Amino acid sequence: MGGLAVSAFVLFSWVLFLSCIFSVDGLSKVRGVNLGGWLVIEGWIKPSLFDGIPNGDMLDGTQVQIRSVVLNKYVSAANGGGSNVTVDRDVASTWETFWLWRVSDNEFQLRCLGGQFLTSNSEDGLILATSKHPLSTETFSIERNARRVHIRLLNGGYVQATNDHLLISTYQFQPGWDNNLATFELVIVANNLHGDYQLANGYGPDKAKMVLEEHRRSFITAKDFDFLSRHGINTVRIPVGWWITQDPYPPSPFVGGSLAALDLAFSWAQYAVPPNSSLQYLISLTFPDAIFTSVGLDLMV
C-alpha cells in the first residue's frame, strides 16, 4: 500500500485518527492512526482479498436457510437442535437457520442454533440435528445451480425431503434441476464474516499463504511510516491476531508470518521518525470470544 497517494488514504480515510490533549509516556499530544486490515484481515477494508475463493459467498460462519422446491417448506431443526429435522415450516426463523462450517470448496457441515450439527448415521438415512462433534457423517457436499442446490452426504446418498415432511439421505441417483424432492433452494441470510479464518480456510493453506504474504508485503510499507512521521503522527495502533503468539507455526487454518511483518513495522518506525521525537506502539491483540468472532486487548509498547 506504499506511495504518497495511498498514504494519504491511510491517514485520512480508513484509519482512526486521534488528536488528544493529554500526556502518554511523555507525549504532550497524541496523534495516532490505526493500521487496521493489515495483520488482522477485515474484509470491508480490502474485499478483493476474497475474490478468488470458490463459493466465496459460503465462507465459515455464513448463515443459510434451506427450502424444498417441491414442498415449498423450510428445513427446520426443532428447538434449535437436539432432535429430528423436518421440512414443514412456511416461514424461516432461527430454527431454520444453519451456520456453515467449511470443509473444502464444496463440502460443508451445518450447525444448528443450539450448537448441534446435522447428521445421518442411521440405516434409514434419517437426518437428525444431534451431533456435537462433526465428522464424515456430518459432512455434506453441496452442488449449486444458481440458487438451487443438491445436498449429498459425503459417504452416502443425496438428501431429499419426503412427502411426510422428513429429511433423509437415501436418494441414490443424480437428481435433475427440475422440481423434485432432492432439489432445494439455498437462501444466504448473512455472509458478513470476512477475517483471517475465512480467508485461510476458504483458499486452503497453499493459496492462502501466497495471498497473505503478498498482502502483508504491500498493504503497509516503510513509505507509509515515513509519511506518517512527516505529518506529525507519534502513535501507531497495530491490531494482531491471537495466533501471532504461535508464529511462525500457528494452528490451522491460520497462516504464519504476521510476527515477521510486525518486526518490520518496528524497524520502519525507528528510521522514519525524525530525531528527538518518539513513536509509541499500541499493539491490539485480538482473541476469540465466540465462534468465528473476536475481541481485542490493547497493549502499549
pLDDT of residue 10: 36
Residue 4 clears pLDDT 50, i.e. is over it: no
Mean pLDDT (whole number) for 95-112:
98
The label of the residue with cell 422440481 reads 179
Domains and CATH numbers, the chain: 4-52+194-300 (3.20.20.80), 63-190 (2.80.10.50)
Band (pLDDT 50/70/90 cuts) for residue 155 is confident
Q: For 281, phi and psi rounded to 5 degrees?
A: -110, 135
- The lowest-confidence range among 40-54, 83-97, 215-229, 283-297 is 283-297
pLDDT tens string 60-75: 999 999 999 999 999 9
Mean pLDDT (whole number) for 224-250:
91
- The lowest-confidence range among 145-149, 201-205, 221-225 is 221-225
pLDDT of residue 198: 97
Residue 20 clears pLDDT 70, i.e. is over it: no
- The lowest-confidence range among 14-18, 29-33, 220-224, 260-264 is 14-18
In terms of C-beta density within 10 A (0-12 exposed, 13-18 middle, 19 or more buried), how is residue 63 classed?
middle
CA distance 183 to 158: 9
pLDDT of residue 100: 98
Residue 298 clears pLDDT 70, i.e. is over it: no
